[in-house]
Chains A and B, each alone.
Chain A
Amino acid sequence: MGRYLIRRLLQAIPVLLGATLLIYAVVFALPGDPVASMFGEKRMDEDIVNIIREQYHLNDPFIVQYWHYISGVFQGNFGRTFAGVEVSEIIAGKFQVTLNLAFTALVMEAVIGVGLGLYAALRRGRAQDTLVLASTLVLISIPTLVTGFVLQLLLGVKLKQSTGIEIFPVAGVSDGLRSYLLPAFVLAGTSIAYLTRLTRTNLVETLRADYIRTAVAKGMPRRRVIGRHALRNALIPLVTYLGADLGTLMGGAVITETIFNLPGIGQELFRSVYERQQPVVVGIVTLLVLVYILANLIVDLLYAVLDPRIRYE
């Protein structure tokens, strides 16, 4: 187990290095001079420009700049913006917002997706099953952009107008968990539908297995057959999907954040790209790559919990 963990972490290093290098190269290629943009309309002072360029290693070749940056990251230092603010300070609060959003979405996805999938699988071929399948098809097809605005209008605005109570806030994060509910559902929409279908397919397959028939034949209660035998055996692909989805949700949150005005990393990245704040941009993407790698590692470790036959060598 310990050796497996170390090997996996070592394997993650080239991915992390490659992905950050890729992002660094893209950001490096962004048009415009960041130092010049700091001065705005004012005339640039040669000396100050030179000091800043020296300080941020801007005169060094690309790969040297990258080296300075990545060795800082491995020491927990995400660098400073050109205005001298710590990047980690800027990101921390925004990251929390996106993380809250993505986790709320993930919980909704797991509960609704597995629940609906289970419901459909147990009623395979009947009207309820068809209804679930048809509605997931529709849910998959409606882009976040559309669900976001439609639900904001219907549940956020119209519902408030008709009942007089604000149940789902339409913007900002000032209402705690309540303000995340609607955006999280919008963000999770497509994933809920995929997970429902995945759960259904896997359960249908598992329910056909011999050990299920044996369990039923020996008189085991239905609840236990489904919970302990069928669901647990069908769980591995679902956990894999959920783990991979956390990164997707966090990376895809930018549209949801824009619609609902949530101050998350998507919006910050958007602004930083236009202000040429390279350290912020690379920092955000590096964090997301880390989340992706960690989530996948946790999923791999969960396999052994779900299926004791799996051992890590």
Chain B
Amino acid sequence: MSDTTIPGTSGSPGTPRARHARHAKSPAQPARDPRSPKGPGPQDAKPAGLWSDAWHDLRRRPLFIASAVLICVILLMAAVPQLFTSVDPYDAAGCRLGDARQAPSSGHWFGTDSQGCDTFARTVYGTRVSLLVGLSATLVTTLVGGLLGLVAGFRGGWPDALLSRVAEIFFAVPSVLGALLILAVFRTGTMWTVMLALAMLAWPMTFRIMRAAVITAKGQDYVIAARALGASGGRLMFRHILPNSIASVIVVATVNLGVFIAAEAGLSFLGVGVQSPSISWGLMIADARPRFLEAASPLLFPAAFLSLTVLAFIMLGDAVRDALDPKLR
């Protein structure tokens, strides 16, 4: 990641980009403060860019370490759930109706649900759907919103006006209800339709942030210098402006990941998301709901996993934002 701000020694020589990289502040911060352009910091002498600086800073943050460890465990759980439980919840033979709604015990750590299936195994296997939806929706949102924002901010004029109006329209549609509606069009919900519905309504946020960052970066001296040296539009966009405006988009992406995971659970809970026999935390919560007052554990354990996963990504976003935006300290 850190190589994004290493000055390009080939190509256009003498691009003063690296020295200015530290000034690429997060535009998420309202630009009300006229004193915000900071003078050169004391560390400007060394060539460390924003990214290596941020990484250096991140490694020593307890918040980052905690979230990184948690995320590693969650990723492992999503990739190889067999490591965590020997029960295969997709094998219906493992569920015995006679064992329905048992309290947590040594045989069933989290108890059993209304079908007599092991809640722990189902919860572990549910990680995959949540993470896949979250990651893919984040990827699509960031790519689409980021690219459109880059183009709109850089070109200005009618492409900007058009894209901004379209983004405004999507922004005005209430997100949960809109997603519910989009999902109703596809009769059977799968991971991919959920991803599509979430991404369709979330890209305008990334678009706005990217556009604002690009407009700020566009006016900086190093871009004007590169333009004067004859750099092409594409080179300006991808070599000079993009690396200096992507920080805030990355922060939003990390937070979005947590939000998407929560949204997937919500939509699956409402019955328009992932469908049974797939296993999803939202579905498990919906299944456990009718008997919630007698047997709370089939609902509370997936709920706890869901909250922990969202917490991990929100914490990561927090730590990354603090590292990338020194102004907030």
Mark A residues whose CB is within 8 Å of B: 14-16, 18-19, 22-23, 26-27, 29-31, 137-138, 140-146, 149-150, 153, 157, 201, 205, 236-237, 247-248, 250-252, 254-255, 258, 266, 269-270, 273-274, 281, 284-285, 288-289, 292-293
Contacts and interface: CB of A to CB of B under 8 A. Distances in A.
Given A251-B175, A254-B177, A153 B296 contact: yes
Contact of B185 (A16, A29, A237, A258): A29
Contacts of A237: 30
4 tightest A-B CB contacts, nearest first: A251-B174, A141-B311, A18-B169, A143-B262
A231 to B, nearest CB: 16
Given A142-B307, A145-B265, A145-B269, A269 B299 contact: no
A22 to B, nearest CB: 6
A141 B185 contact: no
A26 B262 contact: no
Nearest to A197: B318
A153 B292 contact: yes
Contact of A22 (B30, B173, B262, B300): B173
A15 B168 contact: yes
A248 B177 contact: no
B314 A157 contact: no
B177 A141 contact: no
A27 B173 CA distance: 14
A121 B282 CA distance: 37
10 contacts: A19-B172, A145-B303, A145-B306, A153-B292, A251-B175, A254-B180, A266-B177, A273-B181, A289-B172, A289-B173
B183 to A, nearest CB: 9
A27 B177 CA distance: 12
A205 B36 CA distance: 11
Interface string B272-313: 000000000010010001001100100110011011101100
Given A157-B293, A201-B328, A254-B270, A15 B172 contact: yes
Nearest to B169: A18
A149 B285 contact: yes
A30 B185 contact: yes
A166 B169 CA distance: 44
B291 to A, nearest CB: 12
Given A22-B170, A143-B266, 15 more contacts: A16-B172, A18-B168, A26-B182, A30-B185, A137-B318, A141-B258, A141-B315, A143-B306, A146-B307, A149-B303, A251-B175, A252-B175, A258-B269, A269-B177, A273-B180
B176 A258 contact: no
Contacts of B300: 149-150
B287 to A, nearest CB: 13
A226 B306 CA distance: 40
B165 interface: yes
Contacts of B293: 153, 157
A18 B172 CA distance: 9
Given A30-B185, A251-B175, A273-B181, A144 B266 contact: yes
A293 B265 CA distance: 29
B73 interface: no
